[in-house]
């Protein structure tokens, strides 16, 4: 069952996007001439060394930051303004709200009454295995539970475009495996357009239909990798020869810059 009607499907088109931040310490060129295209219902990953502009690009897609140059367009005619929701690395839950109210919060601006908001939030918490924790507060939960709740909150708004900035990077390896599996399941059910930023190259290849490999600075797209492994995929596909080969080839492309950032020559 698809929750997002197909007529709401959208595509993203980024053309020649550059971003220069001006701060007291001068100008920082974060992105230069970035071209990127995402088809409706596609899951595209962005990987690249720290500081190469991944979060900046995601914020531009979210409409939180304006590009200095270039164009971002949505939908077939380029004039769409799809509902976009961002999931941040640090979950961003409100400590003073229970889990169910945190998740329901996403609907507050939409004119849905409180009982209905809670009902829908409760349903999603149930789907994510959090029903028993609905009345708990974020600081009473594990990191994995908080991150699941953050994903539930994002999904509740039924975004047409889901923008995820390293949503699992703060988690332990085992929780991450489970949540990757859950994300693949939820995405398989909904077919939303997703742009997913991660440092984890294997994760990018495992989850993505395509992976854009970025290098900095300024941030540019260095290559685009297509992953043909059929869906549904699961975490065991980490060992699939295509996944391993593509992950190593991406690592070869960025290892030099990661070493440079760390001042460790190869």
Ligand X SMILES: Nc1ncnc2c1ncn2[C@@H]1O[C@H](COP(=O)(O)OP(=O)(O)OP(=O)(O)O)[C@@H](O)[C@H]1O
Per-residue binding letters, 140-169, with ligand X (x by CB under 6 A): ------------------------------
Say whether residue 50 binds ligand X (CB under 6 A): yes
Residues 188/3, Cβ–Cβ less than 8 Å: no
Shortest Å distance, C-beta 209 to ligand X: 21
Q: Is there binding between residue 198 and Mg ion (CB under 5 A)?
A: no
Residue 55 vs 102, nearer CB to Mg ion: 55
Side-chain-side CA neighbours of 115 within 13 Å: the count stands at: 0
30 binds, among Mg ion, ligand X, none (CB under 5 to 8 A by kind): ligand X
DSSP codes joined into one string, 127-186: HTT-GGGTTS-GGGS-HHHHHHHHHHHHHHT--SEEEEESTTTTS-HHHHHHHHHHHHHH
Give the side-chain half-sphere CA count within 13 A for 40: 15
How far apart, in whole angstroms, are the C-alpha atoms of residue 19 and residue 60?
A: 9
> Choosing among ligand X, Mg ion, none, which partner's interface includes residue 47 (Cβ < 5 to 8 Å by kind)?
none
Within 30-59, which residues bind Mg ion (CB under 5 A)?
Answer: 55
Please identify, using beta-carbon distances, which residue of 25 and 226 lies nearer to ligand X: 25
Q: Does 18 bind ligand X (CB under 6 A)?
A: no
Q: H or E segment at 26?
A: strand 26-38
Beta carbon nearer to ligand X, 28 or 177: 28
Token pair 């996007």: residue: 17
* CA separation for the pair 203, 42 (Å, rounded): 16
Q: Give me the 186-225 binding string for ligand X, x by CB under 6 A, dash otherwise.
A: -------------------------------x--------
**Cβ nearer to ligand X, comparing 101 with 166:** 166
Residue 16 phi/psi, 5-degree rounding, is 55, 35
Select the span of 52-60, 126-134, 204-212, 258-266 touching ligand X (CB under 6 A): 52-60
How many helices (H) and strands (E) are present in the chain, helices listed first?
A: 7, 9
Write out the residues near Mg ion by the rule CB under 5 A: 55
Q: Which spans of this chain sit near ligand X (rule: CB under 6 A)?
A: 21, 23, 28, 30, 48, 50-56, 217
């Amino acid at each position: 069952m698809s929750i997002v009607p197909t007529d709401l499907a959208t595509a993203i088109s980024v053309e020649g996007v550059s971003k220069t931040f001006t701060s007291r310490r001068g100008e920082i060129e974060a992105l230069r001439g970035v071209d990127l295209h995402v088809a409706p219902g596609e899951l595209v990953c962005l990987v690249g060394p720290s500081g190469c502009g991944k979060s900046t690009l995601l914020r531009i897609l979210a409409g939180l930051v304006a590009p200095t140059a270039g164009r971002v367009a949505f939908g077939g005619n380029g004039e769409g303004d799809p509902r976009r929701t961002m999931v941040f690395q640090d979950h961003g839950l409100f400590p003073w709200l229970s889990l169910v109210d945190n998740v329901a919060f996403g609907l507050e601006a939409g004119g849905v009454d409180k009982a209905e908001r809670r009902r829908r939030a409760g349903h999603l918490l149930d789907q994510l295995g959090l029903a028993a924790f609905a009345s708990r507060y974020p600081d009473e939960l594990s990191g994995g539970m908080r991150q699941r709740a953050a994903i539930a909150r994002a999904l509740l708004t039924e975004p047409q475009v889901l923008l995820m900035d390293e949503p699992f990077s703060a988690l332990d390896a085992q929780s991450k495996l489970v949540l990757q599996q859950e994300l693949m399941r939820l995405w398989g059910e909904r077919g939303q357009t997703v742009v997913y930023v991660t440092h984890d190259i294997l994760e990018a290849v495992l989850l993505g239909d395509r992976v854009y490999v970025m290098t900095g600075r300024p941030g540019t797209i260095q290559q685009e990798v297509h992953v043909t492994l059929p869906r549904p995929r699961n975490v065991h596909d980490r060992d699939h020869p295509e996944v391993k080969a593509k992950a190593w080839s991406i690592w070869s492309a960025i290892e030099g810059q990661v070493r440079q950032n760390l001042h460790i020559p190869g």
